[in-house]
Structure 1
């Protein structure tokens, strides 16, 4: 290659990458409901569900442009921290706090059935995910030095506590901030923890055998740690920080290389509560400090929006990417 041509091509490639990054924007979709939204399930490019405070649940069937809201009757005080949807008719929601609740609908939210309830104040449900339409897990904060883990094998109709749940260190917990502190991806249960310890905990879905790896994210108090986790092929990313110091950019994203974590070279613009894979090496992360994008597998991040959100997810089938947060904020990532 011509020695003068090579630097020119490199400049063109960098410019193209920067242009691609700058092309990503978050479009806010105004809502009249002001619930705090933390639960999200994006099925395809048309259908998605969200869940939040004061018993609120909403569904879109047009890719996030319009939303049908409801307060689930009889559960107006429930805080629905996560939702798993299988279609525009069938979904499961979990409520944190006391009582700990799991509700299911099979008719698009017209009616809901209570499929699990526990009035023990120690039960605090953080996140839920499914390996397939039948097999799923709900994770909660530790009880007696074990993370609470509930399992279903019938699509969420019944739930039973798992005896071989992961161990928890004193003061370690998980964050019901985005429903992404526990994910099921590539046949593995992936858990991100915080508090006095920030760890990555994982196990095969079908044969529970837990591994524990420390992360370099902040850890020493209840507001610190890893809040969200996402994996694509060999790339695994955790994000978090300190929700009491949302503008602090130190140590809010890290990448796992199969043996240990390393901090991102260029951090997101502050605290992040959720992370999601988009395509290739592109990941999105969001939090109350804004939304950030990485096109190199989490090594470097660039802020693309300063609005406050709690969760970001991509369609399980399709390319739709939605964000949601406090005060009913809903956004769509535009490419």
Structure 2
């Protein structure tokens, strides 16, 4: 309880004081990984156990709070880019590699990365997987860029051991140029047993797609985030089925960021401003949300309506497995956990 109280008090400092005035507040405590890969995939299980994945066939695992890391990727995958990973504990994880054609693949391990099974390989040259999210240890979704004018969604009901491409009759037509961003593994989010959201950009409007039946049917809502080939919604995160945030901006102009909030499950969105392009977001305690990007990290204490930057280091993705535990990962093997100084 003291730790929780201390977190809340320190978070309040960063949102009420100017940079010069603030003497304490949240900070990222870095944990050297020994890797130079760009880590865009992250799944934090607890304060001690986390998995991170990224370029050059990299999958890292720690079980001691980041003090030591093991490279546990499948053999012969050095050319793959593992943009997303979902871990259920220290032994069981599902990893998503992205890219054109058969570079988009899925692997699963049940022994902490000692061995892996390749459970899905894309055979469509027009398909490109983007990100992955699970409802529970059995049910999960992968979203890929539009094929035939509609986003492609794959589903698993057995923890990633097998995947099926869902019929697209319940998926609205994509806008010309619309796609997902494989920047952080967070272009899809889930909450509860059936609700999922997809963030998009690249079209005339940035949009959020919502499904309440595990991806069988979807509805779309435009967001106030700008949209272009390099801008839109890069990450969505929902605290529950009603309260969500969307963050993004333009990765070609990282000094400019944008965000939005929803209090009705994504049926409508209200504009907010972050300190720069943000590719990842995660909920902390109560209404606290953290967002990360290549030029810094922002914190909100009011559900994403107002943000304040608290760090200028580079991260691509963030995951908070408990209300007071957050991990972040990014370029050059950079991994940190949120602490208070």
TM-score (structure 1 length as normaliser): 0.89
Cα distance between partner residues in 2 of 1:101 and 1:247? 33
The answer to whether the 8 A contact 2:166-2:216 is kept is no
Aligned pair partner of 1:126 in 110, 130, 135: 130
Question: How big is the shift at 1:28?
Answer: 1.9
Aligned pair partner of 2:178 in 149, 160, 172: 172
Question: How big is the shift at 1:268?
Answer: 1.8
The answer to whether the 8 A contact 2:284-2:323 is kept is no
Aligned length: 316
Question: How big is the shift at 1:27?
Answer: 1.5
Matches within 5 A, 1:191-202: 191-196=198-203, 197-202=205-210
Aligned pair partner of 2:230 in 205, 208, 223: 223
Matches within 5 A, 1:9-28: 18=16, 22-28=24-30
| Pair 1:105-2:109 in alignment | yes
Cα distance between partner residues in 2 of 1:318 and 1:254? 21
Cα distance between partner residues in 1 of 2:276 and 2:68? 30
Change in Cα spacing, 1:125 to 1:206, as seen in structure 2 (3 Å) is closer
| Pair 1:154-2:158 in alignment | yes
With 193-202 and 253-262 compared, the bigger mean Cα shift is at 253-262
* Superposed CA RMSD: 1.9
Which of 1 and 2 has greater Rg? 1
Matches within 5 A, 1:236-255: 236-249=244-257, 252-255=258-261
Cα distance between partner residues in 1 of 2:254 and 2:112? 36
Please give the per-residue CA displacement for 1:157-184, whole angstroms capped at 9, x wherever unaligned: 1111000352322111000111111011
| Pair 1:115-2:113 in alignment | no
The answer to whether the 8 A contact 2:14-2:308 is kept is no
Cα distance between partner residues in 2 of 1:175 and 1:123? 14
Aligned pair partner of 1:333 in 314, 320, 338: 338
Corresponding residue SS for 2:138: coil
Corresponding residue SS for 1:268: coil
Matches within 5 A, 1:64-75: 64-75=66-77
Structure 1 stretches of 5 or more lacking a match?
1-13
Corresponding residue SS for 2:327: strand
Question: How big is the shift at 1:261?
Answer: 1.5
| Pair 1:324-2:310 in alignment | no
Please give the per-residue CA displacement for 1:60-104, whole angstroms capped at 9, x wherever unaligned: 112233221244311110100101111211111111113111111
Question: How big is the shift at 1:15?
Answer: 6.3
With 100-109 and 237-246 compared, the bigger mean Cα shift is at 100-109
| Aligned residue number for residue 4 of structure 1 | none
TM-score (structure 2 length as normaliser): 0.88
| Aligned residue number for residue 292 of structure 2 | 286
The answer to whether the 8 A contact 1:63-1:320 is kept is no
Cα distance between partner residues in 1 of 2:13 and 2:67? 32
Please give the per-residue CA displacement for 1:16-59, whole angstroms capped at 9, x wherever unaligned: 96369951111122232100111111112221111101110011
| Aligned residue number for residue 243 of structure 2 | 235
Cα distance between partner residues in 1 of 2:23 and 2:224? 27
Aligned pair partner of 1:256 in 259, 262, 266: 262
Question: How big is the shift at 1:142?
Answer: 0.6
Corresponding residue SS for 1:299: coil
Cα distance between partner residues in 1 of 2:323 and 2:87? 15
